[in-house]
């Protein structure tokens, strides 16, 4: 329908998440209309990110060098590992300023429907890391069907190896109410979970 280069650009854009054929067309024509400098800056940024950013060899977070900034940081507690699904999940936990341990990014969650099995995630690498003197693993996968199954699978695998590496504590993030929100505005499912997970005060 369009000249080769244009339909190629539309084709590439429509592979992006959340971008359908029509949005891809709009973006392509926006790029065509844009200044050469702007358009080439976009191309350059994509090239640069692919050349310079890889995965940390320890935790598989995004990294500009062989190791990410968090793994390089001497002040982080290496005996505490927080396991997340994606690199993007590291950011909100870092933003809390409350976590002083290191991370392990699985690169997804178990999902047989999507053909994702344990071998497709960095689970073996996590078990190896735990063998080298880790005291606690915090499972911070999402509270979804796939995230819960992933947490369960890792917890079971850690238990199976417990003989080899002594006692490692496995914890799971709590789920409940957003802080500062009124009870009145909480949805029933979240509130129900918060009730089920209530704790004694003091």
Partner 1 sequence: MHLAAVESRGFRNLADARVAVGAGITLLHGPNGAGKTNLLEAVYFGLVGRSFRAGNDRDLIAYEQPAARVELELAPQGAVLLAATDRRGERRHLLDGRPLGSSESRPLVSVFHPDRMELVKGPPAKRRAHFDRLVGALWPARADLRTRYGRTLAQRNALVGRIAAALASPASLATWDDRLAAEAVPLIESRAEVVEALSAPVTELGAALGLEGMEIRYRPRVPPERERIGSGLAERREHDLGRAYTSFGPQLDEVELRFGGRALKRFGSQGQHRIALLALLLAERRALIAAGRPSPLMLLDDVMSELDPARREMLVAALADAGQVMLTATEREQVPAAAGAEVSAVAIRDGRPLGAAGLGAADRDAA
Residue of 86, 94, 136, 148 that binds partner 1 (CB under 8 A): 148
* 119 contributes a contact to partner 1 by CB under 8 A: yes
How many whole angstroms separate alpha carbon 59 and alpha carbon 83? 9
Site string for partner 1, 8-47 (x = CB under 8 A): ----------------------------------------
> What angle (nearest 5°) sits at the alpha carbon of residue 64, between those of residues 115 and 66?
80
Q: For the segment 87-116, give every residue that binds partner 1 (CB under 8 A).
A: 110-113, 115
Distance (Å, whole) CA 80 – CA 134:
6
Strands (E), the chain: 54-55, 62-63, 77-84, 101-105, 136-139, 169-172
Min CB(61)–partner 1 separation in Å: 24
Q: Which stretch binds partner 1 (CB under 8 A): 38-46, 47-55, 82-90, 184-192?
A: 184-192
Contacts of 86 (CB under 8 A, 6+ apart): 105, 106, 107, 108
Q: How far is the CB of 133 from partner 1 (least distance, A)?
A: 26
Residues forming contacts to partner 1 in the complex (CB under 8 A) are 110-113, 115, 117-119, 145-146, 148-149, 152-153, 156, 187-189, 191-193, 195
């Amino acid at each position: 329908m369009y000249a080769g280069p244009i339909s190629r650009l539309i084709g590439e854009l429509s592979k992006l998440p959340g971008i359908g054929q029509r949005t891809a067309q709009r973006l392509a024509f926006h790029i065509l209309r844009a200044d050469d400098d702007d358009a080439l800056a976009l191309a350059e940024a994509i090239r640069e990110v692919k050349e310079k950013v890889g995965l940390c060899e320890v935790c598989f977070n995004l990294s500009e060098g062989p190791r990410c900034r968090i793994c390089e940081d001497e002040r982080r507690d290496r005996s505490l590992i927080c396991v997340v699904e994606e690199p993007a999940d590291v950011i909100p936990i870092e933003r809390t300023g409350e976590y002083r341990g290191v991370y392990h990014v699985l690169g997804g969650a178990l999902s047989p429907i999507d053909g994702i099995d344990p071998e497709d995630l960095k689970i073996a690498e996590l078990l190896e890391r735990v063998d080298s003197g880790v005291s606690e693993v915090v499972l911070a996968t999402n509270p979804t069907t796939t995230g819960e199954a992933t947490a369960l699978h890792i917890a079971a695998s850690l238990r199976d190896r417990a003989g080899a590496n002594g006692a490692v504590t496995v914890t799971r993030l709590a789920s409940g109410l957003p802080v500062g929100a009124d009870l009145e505005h909480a949805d029933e499912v979240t509130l129900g979970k918060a009730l089920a997970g209530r704790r004694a005060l003091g």
